[in-house]
Amino acid sequence: MGYRLSELAARLGVPWEGPDDPEILGVAGFEDAGPGDLTFAGDRQRESVLAGAGAAAVVVRPGVPCPLPALRADDPRAVFTQVLALYAPALSRVFPDGRHPTAVVDPTADVAPDVALGPYCVVGPGARIGAGCRLGPHVVVEADAVLGRNCLLHAAAQVRERCVLGDEVILHGGSVVGSDGFGFHPGCTGLVKIPQIGIVILGARVEVGANTCIDRATTGVTRVGEGTKLDNLVQIAHNVTVGRHCAISAQTGISGSCRLGDGVTLGGQVGMADHLALGDGVKVAAKSGITRDVPAGQSIFGYPAIEFRKGFKVVALTHRLPELFQRLAKVEAALGRRREGKPADAVRDD
């Protein structure tokens, strides 16, 4: 289904202009857009080459010269995001309505009538699933777990016993909420498992990437706050608290009992030692190793992570170590020659 550009403008509440009113059949990135597509110019580089764009129309800032039909917006990316939602496949296509005959629902579970259950879903005893939820193939919701309204659980996602998901939570394929925390203590016969009897609570509109794992607390709660987004392959250990509206990139590991404030951003492959605290708004660059508490508002980088600009200076100087070592060796050799009463220029450059 397509929309005329004027229809999109009316739906989105933005002005449009152009020599014609094209039908927009799809959306695409700037370099890939072709006839019938809408794209956006999100930076000055793309704004400078609008004449060469192959799209039918473009979202662009007011005042930027544009030879194509255009939607005008102060934030082209935000408007393009709204357009993407209009052209996204219907949920009923991805998650067919109704209950597949192979789905298994315990008689004591409370499942809202409009919940969609895909092939081989399992809903355990005492579980509660709110209205509008859609569960893909092989999803497992274990005993006494609770899902709020309008949650989406993609194939093979798992919600372990007694864990709680708020409204509009999204779990991508293979993610696990409520796996046992990594708790053991040394005994006379080896490592003894510490029972993990706590739960996980995800706030409203949390999104969990594919194959991400969030461990249940030893006691109490592992908590992820409202609106937080976790990328693929993230590990959240037991008793961690993640604040609201945080963004955590792929392959990041957060050790047990860490506390993250609101609006924290972690780049890819960040590692965080246990029992640390990050204040509100902290930003951590990719591949950093966090070994200390970080006050609110700081940006850090490196291993161990330090203040952002200082961290990059350290990296830059590290690359110069061979050169600096050679220079230091020359200075030391020259000083040694002087102590021996020999001219400093007698030192050879080996």
The whole-model pTM stands at 0.87
φ/ψ bin of 336: left (φ > 0), alpha (ψ from -120 to 50), beta (otherwise): alpha
d(CA 116, CA 94): 11
pLDDT value of residue 343: 62
Q: Can you give the CATH number for the domain in which 45 is found?
A: 3.40.1390.10
Same domain, 140 and 70: no
Taking a C-beta distance cutoff of 8 angstroms, is the pair 300, 287 a contact?
no
Same domain, 218 and 338: no
Give the 3-state secondary structure of residue 129: strand
Same domain, 151 and 234: yes
pLDDT value of residue 174: 98
d(CA 102, CA 138): 10
pLDDT value of residue 91: 82
Which amino acids are annotated catalytic? 238
Nearest to 118 by CA among 143, 89, 149, 140: 140
CB-side neighbour CA atoms (13 Å) of 145:
27
Taking a C-beta distance cutoff of 8 angstroms, is the pair 22, 57 a contact?
yes
Q: Look at residue 36 and tell me if it is in a domain.
A: yes
Taking a C-beta distance cutoff of 8 angstroms, is the pair 41, 30 a contact?
yes
Same domain, 216 and 335: no
- In degrees, rounded to 5, the angle at the alpha carbon of residue 239 between the alpha carbons of residues 238 and 243 is 115
Tokens 């591949």 sit at which residue? 287
Same domain, 121 and 154: yes
Same domain, 77 and 161: no
Q: What is the pLDDT along the chain (350 residues), one digit of tens a residue?
A: 689 999 999 999 999 999 999 999 999 999 999 999 999 998 888 888 888 888 999 999 999 999 999 999 999 999 999 999 999 888 888 899 999 999 999 999 999 999 999 999 999 999 999 999 999 999 999 999 999 999 999 999 999 999 999 999 999 999 999 999 999 999 999 999 999 999 999 999 999 999 999 999 999 999 999 999 999 999 999 999 999 999 999 999 999 999 999 999 999 999 999 999 999 999 999 999 999 999 999 999 998 998 888 888 888 888 888 988 888 988 888 887 666 666 655 545 55
pLDDT value of residue 47: 87
pLDDT value of residue 315: 84
pLDDT value of residue 312: 81
pLDDT value of residue 2: 86
Give the 3-state secondary structure of residue 152: strand
Give the 3-state DSSP-derived string for 5-29, with helices as H, strands as E and coil as C. HHHHHHHHCCCEECCCCCEECEECC
Give the 3-state secondary structure of residue 88: coil
Q: Which residues contact 325 (CB under 8 A, 6 or more apart)?
A: none
Last-in-domain residue among 57, 88, 119: 88
Same domain, 132 and 246: yes
d(CA 99, CA 339): 90
Last-in-domain residue among 46, 64, 88: 88
Last-in-domain residue among 53, 69, 88: 88
Q: How far, in whole angstroms, is CA 303 from its chain's centroid?
A: 22
Same domain, 200 and 305: yes
d(CA 69, CA 170): 36
Number of domains comprising the chain = 3
Q: Look at residue 82 and tell me if it is in a domain.
A: yes
pLDDT value of residue 109: 98
pLDDT value of residue 138: 98
Q: Look at residue 315 and tell me if it is in a domain.
A: no
pLDDT value of residue 342: 64
Q: What strands, in cross-sheet order, belong to the sheet with 110-111?
A: 110-111, 128-129, 146-147, 164-165, 199-202, 221-224, 241-242, 259-260, 277-278
Q: Look at residue 332 and tell me if it is in a domain.
A: yes
Same domain, 160 and 295: yes
pLDDT value of residue 243: 98
Q: Which amino acid is at 201?
A: I
Q: Can you give the CATH number for the domain in which 104 is found?
A: 2.160.10.10
Tokens 């990041």 sit at which residue? 252
Say which DSSP state 99 is in: B
pLDDT value of residue 137: 98
Same domain, 19 and 144: no
Residue 140, beta-bridge partner list: 122, 158
CA dihedral of residues 199, 201, 206, 207 (deg, nearest 10): 10
Nearest to 23 by CA among 53, 65, 66, 55: 55
Owning domain of residue 245 = 94-310
Say which DSSP state 90 is in: P
Q: What count of other Cβ atoms lies within 10 Å of the Cβ of residue 185?
A: 8
Asked, as a colleague might, if the bond just before 101 is cis with ω within 30 of 0, I would say no
* Max CA pair span of the chain: 96
pLDDT value of residue 334: 84
| Straight-line distance from the first to the last Cα atom of the chain, in angstroms, rounded to the nearest whole number | 73
Nearest to 38 by CA among 63, 74, 9, 75: 9
Residue 200, beta-bridge partner list: 222
Same domain, 120 and 243: yes
Same domain, 172 and 198: yes
pLDDT value of residue 92: 80
